[in-house]
Structure 1
Amino acid sequence: MRPGPLRSGLLPSGLLRDLALALAALAVFLAVPVVFPQPALRDFLIYFFAYGLLAMSLNLLVGLTGLVSFGHAAYFASGAYVFGLLMQSGRVSIPVATLAAVGGTAILALVIGAICVRLKEIYFSFITLAFQMFIHSIIVTWVGLTGGDQGLRGGIPRPPILGLDLNDARTLYGTCVVVFVVCIVAMRQVSQSPFGYTLRMIRDNPARANFLGVNVVLMKLGIFVFAGAMASIGGVLLALFVSGAYPEFAFWTTSGEAIFMIMLGGMKLFLGPLVGTLLLQTLNHFVTIYTEYHGLVLGSVILLIVLGLRRGLADYLYDWLQDRRARRAPSAPVPEPVVKSRPV
């Protein structure tokens, strides 16, 4: 395979494009508190960043590899609890606690994934759910360490990072924006790498991938660990924002919400789960304010999109735009048939 075109002899053009889009998104998110100074919007976006990383990391398994995990929230909670416990000890800084949380979660995902990725389809899905509920049970019963049902008590300290005071709401928001954008770029590069295209081949035809010499189990395990690590960063952001960690982070409903985000947004486009995250978080925010029938409204919206559009909202819009462009494109002239005259 020939390498892609290079810009300035250093970086592939696709990476430069992704970096340019990331910088543009970074600028837009950082400008939001300036244009709209309401604290509620800033808080809403931090929730969006945390759960967006959960949904995007899960889609690396569901959409990219074809592994439907029902227990992905376990790594979200692992990142939150490890980070919170280390910060409460008062012995480490925020960057060190974050690296330890991500590394510890990656090891946890490696152990669990080594068992799960050998199974197929529904068996894989349910064993991931079983491991999540096992971790949730540990969180609830180990009261002396985790606080049990009450979660981590006492708050999470926010010492300065490189002179930045994270106790300031705007500074905390800016830090979350930077971490979120960096993680999205990292997941994008993985999905567009040869590793990512190998995962697509495994998703579409695992037997053929195995025939071509691909170590299917090792590839699945690699993306399982990476997805768990990315989910843990979302847990770190949420724990830092709410100044705590709670057993609900590891409950099966959190994994269900991540599945709903992918269903609402779509798994075909890379950023589709973020569209679903925005839609679900908006519904959660406004529906709970105006009515107590949250589950009824949310279920109706999901049914409308799944049964009506038969795909995620982002996927539907993308296909609609592609069809519209195809109709507007000038059709190639059909050559007239050549008629040979018969001899008289």
Structure 2
Amino acid sequence: MRPGLSPAGLRRPGLARDVAIALTGLALLLALPMAFPAPALRDFLIYFFAYGLLAMSLNLLVGLTGLVSFGHAAYFATGAYVFGLLMQTGRVSIPVGVLAAVGGTALVALVIGAICVRLKEIYFSFITLAFQMFIHSVIVTWVSLTGGDQGLRGGIPRPPVLGLDLNDARTLYGACAVVFVLCILAMRQVSQSPFGYTLRMIRDNPARANFLGVDVTAMKLGIFVFAAAMASVGGLILALFVSGAYPEFAFWTTSGEAIFMIMLGGIKIFLGPLVGTLLLQTLNHFVTIYTEHHGLVLGTVILVIVLGLRRGLADVLFDWLQARRAPRAAGPAPGSLEAEPIGDGALKGRTV
């Protein structure tokens, strides 16, 4: 390492680039409703923010760590219900409600994850599903608190935040966009941190990681809790938007949709799950308008992508771009006039 360069210094350019991309993306999201002022677009994008965070947080487990969770929507619903119940008391502000919902969800995930991460492969997947159905059952049966099958009734108040009136649709959209981008940036930094690369090592070879002194269980538990916290933010965004929370948030089909989003978008590219979220939400929106057989159409599209491409759309695009760059990076073909420089400099830098 050259003098004056520390590991932290080496990471700064990447952080600056990620912040610049995040600000550009936020500016684009804020500009879209101005260019296309239809309320339907804002509503669609808020759904995209909520379910995009669900898919991105799940990919921290699936793509980054190799933990396939079938019950990730449990934390999506926990965040929505905790936030909604706190706001209905009328005693807390929205920032306090958000922090309490995320913290409460993280605590729930810590307890559940301490059990789940000790299991491997399919056993891990099914026990996460079992815990999700347990949380769904609690929501449905605790009628006095959650409203049961009818969901959290009575609406969720939207008191002003820093002078902003969230009852205004445009202001609410802007606030959701800012929170969404901040969460994506946080997940990006985690995935690019030493912690993130340790998780990749655990995914690829847990036995070697354990041999090198990595506490595999603690690392898995750490990302499990963080992913749950990020999913809870998606849940509270949706709860704030629809002014309620419903048992469907915790049903197994919601976790299934998140897995479909990852499959459609891909796991190789960091933002791949967002591509899948956009595709699935678009299909859900238009297919349900034009036909009653939306399940058949969605199933056909997923089968075509999964069986035909064998990876997500973002992964396909990434591989295609890499293939196009490869010949250029290889340089001139051996035997060409440019392959071997002529003169005294021809031998410089070579090892004989």
Deviation digits for residues 152-200 of structure 1 (CA, Å, limit 9, x no counterpart): 1110010000110000000000000000000000000000000000000
Instruction: Go from structure 1 to structure 2 and tell me whether the alpha carbon gap of 1:3 and 1:335 turns closer, same or farther (over 3 Å shift).
Output: farther
Matching residue's letter, 1:119: L
1:37-52 aligned within 5 A: 37-52=37-52
Amino acid at match of 1:193: S
Tell me the equivalent position of 1:298.
Answer: 298
The alpha carbon displacement at 1:3 in A equals: 4.0
Q: Distance in 2 between matches of 1:312 and 1:33?
A: 28
Distance 2:106 2:185 in 1: 19
Q: Deviations over 1:3-34 (max 9, x none)?
A: 45848xxx710000000000000100000111
Q: Tell me the secondary structure at the aligned position of residue 57 of structure 1.
A: helix
Does the Cα contact within 8 Å between 1:5 and 1:13 map onto a contact in 2? no
The amino acid that maps onto 2:154 is G
Amino acid in structure 2 at the alignment position of 1:108: V
Corresponding position: 1:125 with 2:87:
no
* Partner SS for 1:12: helix
1:147-166 counterparts in 2 under 5 A? 147-166=147-166
One-letter amino acid matched to 2:246:
Y
Aligned to 1:23: 23
Q: Given the alignment of the two structures, is residue 168 of structure 1 paired with residue 171 of structure 2, yes or no?
A: no
**2:221 — aligned with what?**
221
**Does 1:108 find its partner at 2:108?**
yes
- Residue 329 of structure 1 and its aligned partner are, at CA, apart by 4.4
Q: Deviations over 1:262-316 (max 9, x none)?
A: 0000011000000000000000000000000011000000000001111000000
Figure out how many residues of one structure are paired with residues of the other and give that number. Answer: 333
Deviation of 1:335 after TM superposition, in Å, equals 5.4
Q: Give, in angstroms, the shift of residue 64 of structure 1.
A: 0.1
Cα drift, residue 332 of structure 1: 3.7
2:285 is matched with which residue? 285
Q: Secondary structure at the match of 1:65?
A: coil
How far did residue 324 of structure 1 move? Answer: 1.4
3-state SS in 2 of match to 1:123? helix
Aligned amino acid, residue 35 of structure 1:
A
Q: Which amino acid aligns with 2:147?
A: G
Which residue in 1 is equivalent to 2:342?
none
* Number of the residue aligned with 2:179: 179
Query: Partners in 2 of 1:108 and 1:284 — Cα distance?
Result: 31
Q: 1:207 matched to which residue of 2?
A: 207
Q: Which residue is equivalent to 1:260?
A: 260
Alignment-derived partner of residue 96 in structure 2: 96
* Alpha-carbon shift at residue 325 of structure 1 (Å): 1.6
Structure 1 unmatched runs, 5+: 337-344
In 2: Cα distance, 1:152 partner to 1:207 partner: 45
User: What corresponds to 1:341 in structure 2?
Assistant: none
1:59-86 Cα offsets, whole Å, 9 max, x none, are 0000000000000000000000000000
For residue 66 of structure 1, what is the aligned residue in structure 2?
A: 66
Write the distance in 1 (CA, Å) between the matches of 2:271 and 2:235.
19
2: distance between equivalents of 1:60 and 1:109?
14
Alignment-mate amino acid for residue 132 of structure 1: Q
2:98 is aligned with 1:87: no
**2: CA distance, partners of 1:5 / 1:81:** 39
* Superposition misfits of 4+ residues, deviation over 6 angstroms: none
Task: Extract unaligned runs of 5+ from structure 2.
Answer: 337-352
Deviations 1:200-247 (A, max 9, x none): 000000000000000000000000000000000000100000000000
What secondary structure sits across from 1:276 in the alignment?
A: helix
Residue 311 of structure 1 is matched in structure 2 by 311
Q: Distance in 1 between matches of 2:9 and 2:144?
A: 55
Counterpart residue number, 2:139: 139
Q: What is the TM-score normalised by the length of structure 1? A: 0.95
Q: Deviations over 1:124-169 (max 9, x none)?
A: 0000000000000000000000000000111001000011000000
Task: State the alpha-carbon separation in 2 of the partners of residues 233 and 222 from structure 1.
Answer: 17
Q: Percent identity?
A: 83
Q: In the alignment, residue 123 of structure 2 is paired with which amino acid?
A: Y
